[in-house]
A = this chain, B = another copy of it.
Amino acid sequence: MLSAKEIAELRAQLYSPVLSDVLDQLGYRNQALRPLVRPLDETSVIFGPVRTGMYMPVVFDPSEKHPYDVEIALIDDLRPGDVVVFGCNGPTDSIGPWGELLSTAAQQRGAAGCITDGLVRDVRQIRAMNFPVFCGGISPLDSWGRGKMMTRDTPIECAGARVSPGDFVFADIDGIVVIPATALKQTIDKALQKVNGENGVRDALRAGESLRSVFDRSGIL
């Protein structure tokens, strides 16, 4: 298990493309969320263990008594460092599971950020709070009567990637990568090595070496 300090250091050293390449090499080739999910603030970086929730589309039902029960329970149960990942079967035009009040509650509990293929609102306020959010779009719509969280802390799909309790996610300007629990240590070790290798390639290219020569020597592109 990674300590909070280790997580903070890795968040500063790693980036999503190198993690994606390492996961490819290890045989995990479906770990990146589809590009529809983008950060509200392009300087945001998230790294941490996931807490999942899954939404389904619903229609407005005036007799509905508990529209928010599952998500309230999840938010109130967040631990420091947790990353909220909400699957909405996005892209969606109507399901918006996140906004300022949930950001406030999650930040108060020490959560590291929120990632969803659904929509968010209160963008200005969320940016002002510096709470990292990656989302599938922006909309003023409340989720009530449009989408409802049906399960929490179960395996879900978010933007085409499978996300399970125990997995870690790394999110930055280039996208979001899911690291399976069982491959976490190996992925991190190899990624730290690869970061160094790329520096050499970059220098050689800047020095005018041909791409053919650099690639044949390093295997990196």
Contact = CB atoms under 8 A, between A and B. Distances in A.
Interface stretch (A1-9, A27-35, A180-188): A27-35
Interface centre among A20, A122, A174, A202 (most CB of B within 10 A): A174
Contact of A56 (B34, B54, B105): B54
A58 interface: yes
Contacts of A198: 101
A124 B151 CA distance: 36
A220 B104 CA distance: 13
Contacts of A220: 101
A77 to B, nearest CB: 10
Interface in A165-190: 173-177
Interface residues on A, range: 35 or more
15 contacts: A16-B140, A17-B122, A21-B142, A32-B141, A38-B138, A42-B123, A57-B157, A58-B154, A58-B156, A59-B162, A72-B212, A76-B210, A100-B202, A101-B220, A124-B174
Interface of A: 15-17, 19-21, 24, 29, 32, 34-36, 38, 42, 54-61, 68, 72-73, 75-76, 89, 93, 99-102, 104-105, 108, 119, 121-124, 137-142, 144-145, 150-151, 154-157, 160, 162, 173-177, 198, 201-202, 205-206, 208, 210-212, 214-215, 220-221
